[in-house]
Amino acid sequence: MAILCRPAVSVPEYVITMEETLELARARHADHPRLDLALRLIENTGVRTRHLVQPVTRTLAHPGFGERNRVYAREAKSRVPLVVERALEDGDVRAADIDLIIYVSCTGFMMPSLTAWLINTMGFPPDTRQLPIAQLGCAAGGAAINRAHDFCTAHPGANALIVACEFCSLCYQPTDLGVGSLLSNGLFGDGVAAAVVRGRGGHGINLERNGSYLIPGTEEWIAYDVRATGFHFLLDKRVPGTMEPLAPVLRSLADRHGWDISDLDFYIVHAGGPRILDDLSTFLHVRPDAFRHSRATLTEYGNIASAVVLDALRRLFDEGGADDQARGLLAGFGPGITAEMALGRWNRIPSPVAEDVR
């Protein structure tokens, strides 16, 4: 058994609105030949506000990759512990009860991973296993859930902690003027999320099956070009259409589990943009309101990469959850093009905690 407990989520205090984003684009790129198209695309994202780890003026500056990465490490160490503490509390476990920490992030680099720092500073046992995931982008939130499920299945009674830390604003590149880059400047936001996956006990989603899928021939559609100035985000215009080939994959996963993908009780998916949600509604034959939690994350926070799935799930918890044994889907999509998918049932009543035999 693996129960995904209530996620804890935090976004930084600096806010930029859609109106401010559009005005900055007009002011900084007034002579761009495709500015009108970029502005329309940004407006169509449905993003109302985004949160940034630094004030806008500092976000727009580029002090160099080294300095940006130092900001990443400093802000991660400042912001992650509070979110982890809340996640442990929500999962009703202590740091000493955690057997694996999965840390996902694609917006900065640390070696050793932040997992080592967390173990040294927050009371996690020295033999806690570490699994940093840095190159799955937005799909990493779903991958973290699935790897935690796999671990708890392989080690009955063990507990895993998932941490997603994304400071997308630190990847802003002022010299990248492609339409895809301008769109990403108005789409991505910053956020930190964490959640416990318990091998015994707990309240949340009882994870039952997971799967991964990569669309052949799409590995260059979402990518980083790593230069001296840092991570340069590459986004192919064909990415918004990827739900058409992925919808049958989601349906097949549910079919193998004896479920109808069009008749589940809740859907928690990565909201890379509004078309992703619109197309899933169409191709899965699911009412648009089924993706309201993912759409709310996109509207209020923008695309916070790997943290989106955890924030959308947090919103379902805040809404009161679902009926006991309600069936649902969790899914993240990212570079590859990769899909990480999971099926589970809502568990309203914590199951008994058996004697620890580890």
Q: ∠ CA(271), CA(113), CA(70), 5° rounding?
A: 85
The Cα 215–Cα 338 span in angstroms is: 7
Query: Which residue carries 């990569």 as its tokens?
Result: 214
The Cα 204–Cα 200 span in angstroms is: 12
The CA radius of gyration of the chain, in Å to the nearest whole number, is: 20
DSSP string, 164-202: EEEEGGGG--TT--SHHHHHHHTTB-EEEEEEEEESSS-
Q: What's the half-sphere exposure (Cβ side, CA atoms, 13 Å) at 263?
A: 4
Peptide bond between residue 112 and the one before it cis (omega within 30 degrees of 0) = yes
User: 76 — phi, psi (to 5°)?
Assistant: -65, -45
Are the C-beta atoms of 44 and 247 separated by less than 8 Å? no
The Cα 63–Cα 80 span in angstroms is: 24
Q: Which among 196, 204, 5 has a CA at the least distance from the CA of 101?
A: 196
Q: Which of 106, 138, 152, 168 is catalytic?
A: 138
| CA 75 distance to own-chain centroid | 18
**Two tokens, residue 345:** 């049932």
Look up 171 and say whether it is catalytic: no
What are the distances in angstroms from CA 49 to CA 45, 145, 277, 283? 11, 27, 19, 29
Which residues are identified as catalytic?
A: 138
